[in-house]
Amino acid sequence: MVAMNAIISASELASGLAGANPPVLLDVRWQLSLAQAPFDGRAEYAAGHIPGAVYVDLDSELAAAPDERGRHPLPDLDVFGAAMRRAGVSTGTPVVVYDGGLGWAAARAWWLLRWTGHPDVRVLDGGLPTWEGELQTSAPTPPAGDFEPVPGAMGLLDADGAAALARSGVLFDARAGERYRGEVEPIDRVGGHIPGAVSAPTNDNVGTDGRLLPAEQLAERFKSLGAGGGSDVGVYCGSGVSAAHEVLALAVAGIPAALYVGSWSEWSSDPKRPIAVGSDPQ
């Protein structure tokens, strides 16, 4: 994970799209919906997207159906690979992923592509709101790509691995502080955190403009929280989406990190697993 290759600005993307080897562009607009009317990313895409972008659905193509592994478990690799090839993704072609600005869904797609071996994937920093060019409403049909996912190129944690890393290295909890402390829990069975995990909310990695903080600031932040000293680092969140954005931020800071995809939605579903509450990691 080379820091300069993890993200791309809107101006850099515009130049790349006009160049000799334009990137494949994926629109992954998604947001966690707790209201009765769920967010419709496909409708948002149809209303206007960056020209050439293909819509990818997080819930059905970047994750499997919710089960005992959590709310957004790893997708079936055949399903994921087919979705990427449909979008025109090939191993030798750069890929840029964007969402509506939060960055979480785009980072999930970035992480999956990097984890399954694609060498050149970047996230549009700040997402669609940073794009100043025209938008397109028609859906393109790019030539099929040849990407075949081969997992293992980035770190992946299961529940046991996350518990062990919280003791032997640094395990970040990317959720909001009040969920980490167990003061509120709007989604999962119970609040709190994995014993030993350190609170590191994803939202603190971005500025008021929605873009990631500069690499030096991110490195200082993670260093102050215990990372960057040679210890292994991992991240979890509620269901492995916002944590992917923290893995992205760590990559920009030059710190490799593993993702616990099952995250709190898997961990908290088993009453036998220990739970810590309060601001103390233990």
Successive 10-residue mean pLDDT values, the chain, 282 residues: 73 96 97 72 96 97 96 97 98 96 96 97 97 96 97 97 98 97 92 98 96 96 93 97 98 96 97 96 90
DSSP code per residue over 103-149:
-HHHHHHHHHHHHTT-S-EEEETT-GGG--S--B-SPP-PPP-----
Q: How far is CA 30 from the centre of its chain?
A: 11
- SS3 percent helix, strand, coil of the chain, rounded to 5, is 30, 15, 55
Note the pLDDT tens digit of each residue in 66-111: 999 999 999 999 999 999 999 999 999 999 999 999 999 999 999 9
Q: How many helices (H) and strands (E) does the chain have?
A: 10, 10
Tell me if residue 237 is catalytic. Answer: yes
Residue of 6, 237, 253, 261 marked catalytic: 237
Tokens of 155: 């770190």
Residue 204 and residue 192: Cα distance in Å, rounded?
19
Q: Degrees (nearest 5) of the Cα angle 242, 243, 245? A: 65
pLDDT at 3: 41
Residue 64's CB is within 10 A of a number of other CB atoms, namely: 17
Quote the pLDDT of residue 48.
Answer: 98
Q: Which residues pair with 276 in a beta bridge?
A: 193
What pLDDT sits at residue 34?
Answer: 59
Whether this prediction's pTM lies above 0.85 is answered by yes
4-36 confidence digits (pLDDT tens): 489 999 999 999 999 999 999 999 999 876 555
Neighbours of 175 (CB within 10 A): 27
Report which secondary-structure segment, H or E, holds 24: strand 24-27
